[in-house]
Chain A
């Protein structure tokens, strides 16, 4: 149901990309909102049934991720008012939903592990950070497209529809400076949590390593932005790069490598 709404919303936004009409935007926005509400309800229901936040397996985690991305977009759209962003963010949500439905829904044995407050905190902050980075990833792609148009002096239809470079860079910046502290908090709570159940905060788990690498990438990006004044194309590339690192951390490790994040998740 939610996937359907996201699909409609995405199609709406893709049409909006080609034809600028207020009506199309509002329809797509509303459909996405309905999807997010339905989806949120489903997540709450699953969580209530399982007795903990429903992110135990990759399927649920992906679906939760898609939900957070849509929610983050809906909120950011209200604040930043960049409608075309929807045309880039909503396909991402659809992609995650589809992936999620393709993944096996292995049921996880009920353990006390998911019930800690640390765990909820760890998960929410990481997911929020990831959603913001997904937005900055989309803004980065938009930036690169727009920049290419202007540099190559071929001003096509997309050029007309995309916002100005400065604005896209600004979104990138906003998402980065709100996302990075959240990611940091998420990692710290993760370590703290790990030390309460595995007695050591660092266990050379593949996911831990990948997460640290991701954190480093974003740390570099933030540093370069604030201290050296990196912006524009390079910042956009790094935002895209960082998001790929997130995907690897998030999916690649879950699916292909063994560690206690995964053994639990399976």
Chain B
């Protein structure tokens, strides 16, 4: 059986110049998979290329030669020979290490922000491309599907993605804990800085449609209002707006608080006590801290939010440890599946030998019995088929069972000698098997039911 290997680099190993190059080729039209037919030693290949990483996963028989070929693909991908040697930035994982690495990448344990969900989507679309180029076969197909399900398992069994790790996202999460659905809520932005913009973007992502902007300089307010389809109100009116908004985001440069305890308290009855959430990301603060004491009013300032984010980072790290455990488990499972592949050529040879014998004998017998009706011929054919199937059932089951053992080669050899399969497995079958591995993307192949 051949090898699975992975050659790549990521944000940890590659310096920023090379990542800049990566960002450029991210958008280019040519795809490294086009090079696959030119690679002699690589059988299956999968390429993941994002702005932060490039990973090439492949299977081969001769590891060293395939490695050289794939490295040249990366060099080509980055746009010709680089000014600096690439080697120190590349990592090369073999066999189960490659599998583990892929699982970690898919589960977002290897990402810059651990637990961010985009990477899985990127792998999925890279997989679709690979399927279009028909560059993935039995092994990588299975491996990538496994990677998807591992990522899904990590997401559902650990809480790696459920801790907000940016300030604006933490604020949105809090709002969701207060209001539940944000779709019909109104957001008031007081001050229109960059942070406010970022948070507003997050709120819009959560379905908030109604926003109001109040800013001292009208131009900037209008600019933001255009961006978020918001309305603007004069800066002096923002206290009055308190009666019909739900979330207030303040980020002005005002040296003293602009929202005072009494201002807010007196407006709560008019709001029929509906909850009001203040997010104060200004320094110095825009909202009097005492506001938090009012019933149904919640106030978070920048330090509170930072505190949450720090805690969440810590939580994600803890969850990541649990995720690593899941990945180890799944790697072992994949390894045992892979081991069954070793016996596949022998099983195929065994079946095809039996089938050839059956056909030949059937033909010979039928030639002597021309008087048989079609129905009788059919019955004899079914009879021979079931004899062959039943006779082979136990030996095949035995081989599959032994596939998990270290000593499987011994049983494979024994089976080959016993049934005299040697010459056929070496050449014909293994060639056709490899062919099958390379282009097997449909379900009709006979390999599928052996590999189950």
Contact = CB atoms under 8 A, between A and B. Distances in A.
A153 B170 CA distance: 12
Contacts of B180: 163-167
Given A164-B177, A165-B177, A153 B300 contact: yes
A266 interface: no
B272 A164 contact: no
Contacts of B275: 165-166, 232
A229 interface: yes
Interface string B240-277: 00000000000000000000000000000101111100
Contacts of A26: none
B304 interface: yes
Interface residues of B, number: 24
A232 B174 contact: no
A146 B295 contact: no
Interface in B208-231: none
B296 interface: yes
Which residue among B181, B275, B298 has the maximum number of chain A CB atoms within 10 Å of its CB? B275
B311 A232 contact: no
B292 A229 contact: no
B133 interface: no
A82 B169 CA distance: 24
Which residue among A159, A160, A164, A232 has the maximum number of chain B CB atoms within 10 Å of its CB? A164
Interface in B282-325: 292, 295-296, 298, 300, 304, 307-308, 311
Nearest to A20: B159
B162 interface: yes
Contacts of B311: 155
Contact of B178 (A150, A229, A234): A150
Given A153-B304, A160-B162, A229-B272, A234 B295 contact: yes
Contact of A153 (B162, B178, B269, B307): B307
A204 to B, nearest CB: 38
Interface of B: 159, 162, 174, 176-181, 269, 271-275, 292, 295-296, 298, 300, 304, 307-308, 311
26 contacts: A150-B174, A150-B177, A150-B178, A150-B298, A153-B304, A155-B308, A155-B311, A160-B162, A164-B177, A164-B178, A164-B180, A165-B177, A165-B178, A165-B179, A165-B180, A166-B178, A166-B181, A167-B180, A228-B272, A229-B271, A231-B272, A231-B273, A231-B274, A232-B275, A232-B295, A233-B295
Interface of A: 146, 150-151, 153, 155, 159-160, 163-167, 228-234
Closest 7 CB pairs of A and B: A229-B272, A164-B180, A232-B296, A166-B180, A167-B180, A229-B273, A153-B304
